[in-house]
Structure 1
Amino acid sequence: MQLKTHLIAAAVLCAAAAGVQAQTVRIANQGDSLSMDPHSLNESLQLSVTGNIYEGLVGRNKDLSLTPLLATSWRQTSPTVWRFELRKGVQFHDGTPFTADDVLFSFARTQVDGSDMKSYTNDVKEVRKINDHAVEIETKAPFPILPDVISLVYVMSKKWAETNQATRPVDRRKGIENAASFRANGTGPYRLRERQPNVRSTFVRNGNYWGKIEGNVQEVVFTPIGNDATRVAALLSGEVDLMEPVPVQDIDRVNGSANAKVMVGPELRTIFLGMDQSRNELLYSSVKGKNPFKDKRVRQAFYQAIDIEGIQKTVMRGASKPTALMVGPGINGFDAGQNKRLPYDPEGAKKLLADAGYPQGFEVTMNCPNDRYVNDARICQTVAANLSRIGVKINLAAETKGTYFPKILRRDTSFYMLGWTPGTYDAHNALNALMACPDDKGTGQFNLGSYCNPKVDQLTRSIQSETDKAKRNAMIKEAFEVHSADIGHVPLHQQSLAWGISKNVDVAQLADNFMFFKWITVKK
């Protein structure tokens, strides 16, 4: 481990030495983007990194409002049809012109097996080419928030994908890779120059970019450094210029240093626990012949056994907001009046377990990442300790996200942690992706425990097409009420953002934790 750390530091320093005049910024993260394929994994770090190379028809401003990217304008021509006028004169990094054919190809690519982006396009009926610089997107039902929904659907070059045998996204569940895993050809402000998975990725400014690049960074060296102490040391010593997350216990130390500071802000991500509610027998449990998580009393016992205030105080050191909902403040549809957690009640939880037929508790495996969310493994350890007090023995399987995500995404889990930021900044996204009954079209794609309630499904469909905001928000509230009453999942908290930055670097921190290189400036 020590040798690997020295190699990482040496690689970062060499890159810095080569790029002093070129305004290089060196970024470290606790994990790596698992692929350069923009459709292979719906995970915010991956989409943040690839969002510097690729672009969608629409994107986000610093305040997360919509902004034109590859489309210059859009309008509804009927309740189910949107027309997008495409930007002219745009080239992919290899010089190929961007046209409507690339849009049709990319939307179709998000719907094939291996794509992790189905939940963003599962309600698209057809994408039609009007001419080289105009397309129509027809939805299966009225969809007033379609532009928000497709802001993370990045456009690839049809010609490049065909030439490189990358017409289908890689399937992270099966460990399959193709050319798009390691190479990239987008229209964005930065090009991929070098890709060494889990070691280093280097990006350079796109000199032919169609738009304005606000910052002055010519080169970005992105290095995964999983060890918290090593990552903080790299920032304090000047080996990296920008890193995240800063461990909550190190925030004061970084702020007290001469050369670095911490940018702290609220994040839209909700951290929650899910349970397999589909199988008749859990894959990883001491209970045989039945599934205890099908019983609401068991799910509620788990919920009320978790000391969320203790987690906030001792694990997160105040850098979290406990929640009762699957979305947080800043997401359309969030209702503070609903945000009341069930009380922490270990004795009540024991009684619920006994009433459900488990007076001595039971044993179950919990899957958890150790390099994806703030203090993720420590949170899971604390949850395991909490549950042991009601007789539940947790076999904790904490692992790097590179193996964790493929495992849980193929639903090879009984009990798991997940974090979710609605890419649309609207509650419908969480309902559609996390709470709706899973199908083969993308609905419920991240409902990994297969929670299912027909009323939630009906409301989710109605919310999608409702144009009256008051009626729509009332339906969102009702859907959350049903889900909460079912204990469909166990919401934990919204974590806070903590980016460590050199004092000679300016960067825009977005509440969705996306980091755009075009908004980074290295001060001379």
Structure 2
Amino acid sequence: MLFKTHFIAAAVLVAAGAVAQAQTVRIANQGDSMSMDPHSLNESLQLSVTGNVYEPLVGRNKDLSLAPALATSWKQTSPTVWRFELRKGVQFHDGKPFNADDVVFSFARAAGEGSDMKANVNDIKEVRKVGDYAIEIETKSPFPILPSQLTTTYILSKKWCEENQATKPVDRRKGIENAASFRANGTGPFRLRERQPNVRTTFVRNGNYWGQIEGNAQEVIFTPIGNDATRVAALLSGEIDVMEPVPVQDIERINASANAKVMVGPELRTIFLGMDQKRDELLYSNVKGKNPFKDKRVRQAFYQAIDIDAIQKTVMRGASKPTALMIGPGVHGFDPAMNKRLPYDPEASKKLLAEAGYPSGFEVSLNCPTDRYVNDGRICQAVAANLARVGVKINLVAESKVTYFPKVLRRDTSFYMLGWTPSTYDAHDALNSLMACPDETGAGQFNLGAYCNPAQTKLIKQIQSETDQKKRDAMIAEAMKIHSDDIGHLPLHQQALAWGISKKVEITQRADNYMPFKWISLKKNPS
């Protein structure tokens, strides 16, 4: 599998040809969007789905470059202040006009109680209205990549949220729902028609959309199909038009079929394992009175016990790239010279465990989703088998992301799997969200094991405000080295994208794995 080491976000068009009259596009994924509330879960599938209904101030083009969305332009008026000119004449799906009040409200909502998007806005000091169609965002310190930080912070109608008691986000950690869970009122190119969680969600084209809709789809039906074989069979039989992800073992079979093919490409997501390094005693372990993961020797023993090359070969069938870093190629700040994993060495692992006081190993539970990442459950099974060879008994808790995410986001875990695509395509996003010492503002919000190195966190804050690119890149390298030396997490690999598509479909594949419906068309005479 080819992965490019420079920035890549190719807009790949397939099945090109004459566009037919608009039709229904049927999309299947291994999991569902867990809510229609765009502030309730910072997860790419949910943000991809809801991003067809809601919009940010700043969007992305097919090549992932920045594009005007609800803001037509933006500029920095001082080191800590940005002015955004807002688009006029935009309506929410219920007919209410969009204006600056909705932006101020949405940013406060994203920063507030229950929000999973706090890390996107934690360095914003104030969002203020300076006219009906202009706002200023003041940051706590200079933040040169602020526009990139805002591309997944979606704007809701202030009046609609007030009318429907949805002023606070749906809190996935507490299982609290509100009207925004099942209904939606955005400004995007598609409207929500019907929502049946874990069964079917139907979207229809927004006839009053302010922008261009390149595709011809009038309706999109999104269906979760968790079973790999069932999902593939549905594509091959023509019951669905698009599926994601394609199981790596089925790529050749789909490509050999008459009516479908597989789009493959590099993805910016990094898959990794995290460990509870905060509690004095792990919640789910037979070790009592202490936390083995606070000992670097134990973390290193786990790292060196994982045979990542075997996982790449047998579990991922070559469709992954092992990594030593928490970011991958295509993300600014990735340094191939630093991307050198510690060697797979079970004997070294046993020795480290013995030195740490665990000569016979110990037991610990590993939380893992079964329907979020490519072969996620199988990867965790392989990790468990690897660790068993060095005396560590893994009690694998594998479950659907519907129950998995609320659990791990509450930090109700000792050992867990997660994947991360930096929304800014910059290392700062991963550093701030995954590796910074957690605080109440949203820094380290997804550092679920609470790894904390104060020197590194200080660097992360400096990276955010540094405008000299050479100095900034050096700081990123230093912060990454601190984390690697600490073995703060256990990076595994970057997975590859694999979408199964009917040959009558024309679609754009982006390296962030987002699927905008406005770029999907069905052809009348597929070739």
Query: What TM-score do the two structures reach when normalised by structure 1?
Result: 0.96
SS in 2 for 1:110: helix
Corresponding position of 1:400: 400
**What does residue range 286-435 of structure 1 map to in structure 2 within 5 Å?**
286-435=286-435
CA distance in 2, matches of 1:81, 1:22: 44
Instruction: Give the letter aligned to residue 122 of structure 2.
Output: N
Task: Name the SS of the counterpart of 2:318 in structure 1.
Answer: coil
3-state SS, counterpart of residue 174 of structure 2: coil
Residues 167-225 of structure 1: CA distance to partner in whole angstroms, max 9, x if unpaired? Answer: 00011011110000000000000000000000000000000000000111100000000
- The CA deviation at 1:21 is 6.9
Residue type of the alignment partner of 2:516: F
Is the aligned partner of 1:124 residue 2:124?
Answer: yes
Task: Give secondary structure in 2 for the equivalent of 1:152.
Answer: coil
In structure 2, the residue corresponding to 1:398 is in which secondary structure?
strand
How many angstroms does 1:231 deviate by? 0.1
Q: Deviations over 1:288-343 (max 9, x none)?
A: 00000000000000000000000000000000000000000000000000000000
SS in 2 for 1:64: coil
1 CA distance for matches of 2:126 and 2:174?
A: 29
For residues 88-487 of structure 1, the aligned pairs below 5 Å read 88-487=88-487
How many Å separate the matches in 2 of 1:382 and 1:151? 36
Instruction: Give ranges in structure 2 of 5+ residues lacking alignment.
Output: 1-19
- TM-fit CA distance, 1:34: 0.2
Cα separation, 2, equivalents of 1:122 and 1:168: 17
| Whole-angstrom distance in 2 between the partners of 1:246 and 1:57 | 32
Aligned-pair Cα RMSD in Å: 0.7
Q: Structure 1 residue 22: deviation in Å?
A: 4.7
CA contact (8 A) 2:22 2:216 kept: no
Q: CA deviation at 1:111?
A: 1.1
Please list, as runs of the form range in 1=range in 2, the aligned pairs for 1:28-39 lying within 5 A after superposition: 28-39=28-39
| Partner Cα separation in structure 2 for residue 112 and residue 294 of structure 1 | 31
Task: Name the counterpart of 2:520.
Answer: 520
- Write the distance in 1 (CA, Å) between the matches of 2:327 and 2:248: 22
For 1:243 and 1:116, the matched residues in 2 are separated by: 27
* Aligned position for 2:45: 45
TM-score, normalised via structure 2 length: 0.95
Structure 1 residue 113 displacement after superposition: 1.3
* Alpha-carbon distance in structure 2 between the residues aligned to 1:138 and 1:173: 30
Distance in 1, matches of 2:473 and 2:504, equals 44
Matches of 1:399 and 1:441, distance apart in 2 = 30
The one-letter code sitting in structure 1 at the alignment partner of 2:120 is Y
Q: Measure the CA separation in 1 of the matches of 2:435 and 2:21.
A: 50
Q: Is the 8 A contact 2:368 2:380 kept in 1?
A: yes
Is the Cα contact below 8 Å between 2:22 and 2:522 reproduced in 1?
no
Q: Deviations over 1:343-396 (max 9, x none)?
A: 000000000000000000000000000000000000000000000000000000
Q: Where does residue 17 of structure 1 map in the other structure?
A: none
Equivalences, count? 505
Question: 2:401 is matched by which residue type in structure 1?
Answer: K
- The equivalent residue for 1:14 is none
SS at match of 1:151: coil
Q: Which amino acid aligns with 1:454?
A: P
Structure 1 position 112, deviation (Å): 1.1
> C-alpha deviations, 1:441-495, integer Å up to 9, x for none?
1000000000000111011000000011111010000000000000000000000
Give the Cα–Cα distance (whole angstroms) in 2 for the partners of residues 45 and 296 of structure 1: 34
Distance 2:112 2:77 in 1: 28
Q: Is the 8 A contact 2:22 2:521 kept in 1?
A: no
1:34-80 Cα deviation digits (max 9, x unpaired): 00000000000000000000000000001100000000000000000
3-state DSSP of counterpart to 1:281 = coil
Question: 1:273, 1:243 → 2: CA distance?
Answer: 27
Q: Counterpart amino acid of 1:465? A: S
Partner of 2:494: helix, strand, or coil?
strand
Q: How far apart, in 1, do the equivalents of 2:55 and 2:331 lie?
A: 23
Q: d(CA) in 2 for partners of 1:513 and 1:455?
A: 33
Q: Distance in 1 between matches of 2:468 and 2:264?
A: 36
Output the amino acid matched with 1:443.
A
Name the CA distance, whole Å, in 2 between partners of 1:197 and 1:521.
25
Amino acid of the structure 2 residue aligned with 1:351: K
Q: Distance in 2 between matches of 1:410 and 1:343?
A: 33
Distance 1:23 1:337 in 2: 49
**C-alpha distance in structure 1 between counterparts of 2:170 and 2:190, whole Å:** 22
User: How far apart, in 2, do the equivalents of 1:516 and 1:352 lie?
Assistant: 48
Q: Distance in 2 between matches of 1:441 and 1:458?
A: 15
Kindly, what percent of the aligned residue pairs are identical?
80
Aligned equivalent of 1:11? none
SS in 2 for 1:467: coil
- 5 Å-filtered alignment, 1:501-512, equals 501-512=501-512
Alignment gaps of 5+ in structure 1: 1-19
Q: Whole-Å Cα distance in 1 between the matches of residues 199 and 284 of structure 2?
A: 33
